[in-house]
Structure 1
């Protein structure tokens, strides 16, 4: 994660220099504390765009961090989360002109990154970071809000439960459970931890969530328990945990062979079975901080779809979030091979004998057409894939469309970079791309290439 007004704590020593070099306020991925006011609009060099048409904008969603979509029969509703709480918009009549229909005011909320919804039960899950409502990483309260959206005009809180983690939260096993991770460790946590791992919450009774006492996804960074930033579940049901130390996948249901022990056992959300994954080579991601991931499997040709059987399920996309002075050193999109990791090597990695996935390809916004290094941060952030086109947010460098049909050589085919961009996350929906932009609200884009 990263706020638009707090420089990444992954490189605290560069804060002053970075701010002096840019007109943009700073923000951070997980560890440093900062102000909790809405990000101000900024202006820099003129914007740039190619092969993309901006067909709409929702300025009253300024402060947006994430969004999702829910279907109510023929009704199409967009759910937006951010520092303001939750807002709902009707897209049915005109997907290019969302109509505000409901709001749950939670001023001071931090941060709702990668917010997920239950499409069947019509609920949204908000992770409360310890920095929310004036708190801090060291002593602040973290937890999960379950919000009822059965009536999208009237979002309401069903329950709230304290959880030792609270930066992102992810649906597991058909939204019967949640995996919640990050940010940096609290003062009460073991000194040797580099960040918070994952805590599991049973939400089968959404009004009485139950948090399991023992965390999972430990010892992920060459044997050290470290910051798990986010989790994405692929079409086969494997949950991929990204953070400092790489990306590791787990079965959360069914009988599977545990590659660490060599024995078959039943997987569950609170006792998952390792599947594959491991660290990313430092030559591709020097910071070792992997922000989010995606494993293309199956044949998903519809909105939000994947890349068919491309890579035979053996590829993992992962975003490195990292900030340095100048674009050249900022985080990149990494495509790595899972081959060689199915035997549990990623769980046996140590500083003395590190295991790393082989890098297939990388892509950085630095030096690319349409970029403006002087306008601010260039780190890779969230992305979405439809067929062979990957769309990704790069903060001040806006939204980039990549042809990933050749994973060894991703190619930019289009871009949209407003002068005041603070692009966090793009989403394919009904042939359009909806971009959660912390400065601009929601930008609605149409790829014309």
Structure 2
């Protein structure tokens, strides 16, 4: 969630002054840090190992997120960025996508983790309050519903204002959206650390309905704080990441509510807590979790065989590389009875951290760059692929979750890697500076 071009000196001074005034480290803010284009060593040639580049889309420069849709035998990729949407056909040759459509909306802000309804062929595109030269204090936020039933001609079906807008995610089979972030607006409660989740009913995508009451409150040891993103696992549990950790919710079906102590029906408007909580500060000092992944079912092998784990990314931008965000792996044991919802400063609850990985000092890294925060990742089998901004794309063997091991990497000299995606045997990397790189793991 970081902009990668230089912002004004005034913005730098303002953020620095805010940090001093609040006593918070940069990592605790959970908001975009001003500073900078991706930093690299002068003359840095980059570094690549165990990966082959098979294609690239430089015309998608500014890419932030990608999704894949199937139209019968036709395979299509939708790329989002501050330009809007670009659509590519992968059918004939997935290593050489062919541009077929575009929705131009220049002036959007990032569009991180844009999501799609694969059945109805819809794209849900967040409008962050900083879009179109707005700001977090007073800017307008909302969600565009884009019809891509004809991928050559994506069109806005509807737009609805939402009190949050950094990311928006499908829950309950894309019948509803959960939208969160960024930092709070001036008209929101003063004691909030950031925006929680607002729920939008998109069962009628032409007429979205925003529920007035936010959810996932009091997530940071009792304080309502910044929700950054939501990922839904294959069992339908929605995992909510942000300041204060990662918490999972049922959004449908009948379940026991461990907080209320009764069995009740879950819905997107009134979800039932499942598990989760804060992550040990020794693993993620900032307490700001950017996104997560929960593999359904117990770990099949390794030191934690039979346990329920959650993978999460800490995003933080501190001076130097060593203190920047990490990939964390935590056990959900001990969090199934609402512990993460009862956590307080006086009696904090933390998940047990069993493994971490950071790009700092790893083979293939640029030792001079300080743009090293962890960002989005994707997991297939035991191989996790993750973006680390200027430190590029890293492939990790996580078969032993207590000891993630790097097995390959792709760090071009001008890397600004935001999000990698496994698809049909390839990895498509949304790189804010380069567009989309298409990789084949050979390690």
In 1, the alpha carbon distance for the partners of 2:39 and 2:281 equals 35
In 1, the alpha carbon distance for the partners of 2:61 and 2:287 equals 31
> Where does residue 137 of structure 1 map in the other structure?
136
Deviation at 1:12, TM superposition (A): 4.0
> Where does residue 293 of structure 1 map in the other structure?
292
SS of 1:424 mapped into structure 2: strand
> Where does residue 421 of structure 1 map in the other structure?
415
Deviation at 1:444, TM superposition (A): 0.5
Runs of 4+ in 1 over 4 A off after TM superposition: 6-9, 31-35, 39-44, 306-313
Q: How does 1:295-310 map to 2 (within 5 A)?
A: 295-298=294-297
CA contact (8 A) 1:33 1:131 kept: no
In structure 2, runs of 5+ residues without a counterpart are 20-28
In 2, the alpha carbon distance for the partners of 1:40 and 1:349 equals 37
SS of 1:60 mapped into structure 2: helix
Deviation at 1:339, TM superposition (A): 0.2
> Where does residue 225 of structure 1 map in the other structure?
224
Deviation at 1:30, TM superposition (A): 2.6
TM-score by length of 1: 0.91
In 2, the alpha carbon distance for the partners of 1:357 and 1:388 equals 22
SS of 2:340 mapped into structure 1: helix
CA contact (8 A) 2:198 2:211 kept: yes
In 2, the alpha carbon distance for the partners of 1:313 and 1:116 equals 29
What CA deviation, in whole Å up to 9, does each residue of 1:23-50 have, x standing for no partner? xxxxx96356799xxx799884110010
Count how many residue pairs are aligned between Structure 1 and Structure 2: 428
Q: Does 1:212 align with 2:206?
A: no
Deviation at 1:375, TM superposition (A): 2.8
CA contact (8 A) 2:246 2:292 kept: yes
In 2, the alpha carbon distance for the partners of 1:307 and 1:83 equals 40
> Where does residue 101 of structure 1 map in the other structure?
100
In 2, the alpha carbon distance for the partners of 1:15 and 1:142 equals 23
CA contact (8 A) 1:326 1:373 kept: no
Q: Does 1:13 align with 2:16?
A: yes
> Where does residue 3 of structure 1 map in the other structure?
3
CA contact (8 A) 1:296 1:313 kept: no
Q: How does 1:121-200 map to 2 (within 5 A)?
A: 121-200=120-199
> Where does residue 386 of structure 2 map in the other structure?
392
Residues 276, 431 of structure 1: CA spacing in aligned structure 2 closer, same or farther, 3 A cutoff? same
In 2, the alpha carbon distance for the partners of 1:74 and 1:264 equals 44
In 2, the alpha carbon distance for the partners of 1:99 and 1:112 equals 22
> Where does residue 361 of structure 1 map in the other structure?
355
Q: How does 1:227-376 map to 2 (within 5 A)?
A: 227-298=226-297, 312=306, 314-376=308-370
In 1, the alpha carbon distance for the partners of 2:367 and 2:234 equals 37
Residues 266, 308 of structure 1: CA spacing in aligned structure 2 closer, same or farther, 3 A cutoff? farther
CA contact (8 A) 2:319 2:370 kept: no
In 2, the alpha carbon distance for the partners of 1:186 and 1:314 equals 37
In 1, the alpha carbon distance for the partners of 2:40 and 2:300 equals 36
SS of 1:282 mapped into structure 2: coil
Residues 245, 217 of structure 1: CA spacing in aligned structure 2 closer, same or farther, 3 A cutoff? same
> Where does residue 31 of structure 2 map in the other structure?
30
RMSD of aligned Cα (Å): 2.4
Deviation at 1:3, TM superposition (A): 1.8
In 1, the alpha carbon distance for the partners of 2:34 and 2:154 equals 29
Deviation at 1:2, TM superposition (A): 1.8
In 1, the alpha carbon distance for the partners of 2:345 and 2:190 equals 19
Q: Does 1:379 align with 2:373?
A: yes
CA contact (8 A) 2:295 2:309 kept: yes
TM-score by length of 2: 0.92
> Where does residue 25 of structure 2 map in the other structure?
none
In 1, the alpha carbon distance for the partners of 2:286 and 2:109 equals 24
> Where does residue 302 of structure 1 map in the other structure?
none
In 2, the alpha carbon distance for the partners of 1:103 and 1:308 equals 44
In 2, the alpha carbon distance for the partners of 1:256 and 1:154 equals 42
SS of 1:435 mapped into structure 2: strand
Deviation at 1:373, TM superposition (A): 3.1
SS of 2:258 mapped into structure 1: coil
In structure 1, runs of 5+ residues without a counterpart are 17-27, 300-305
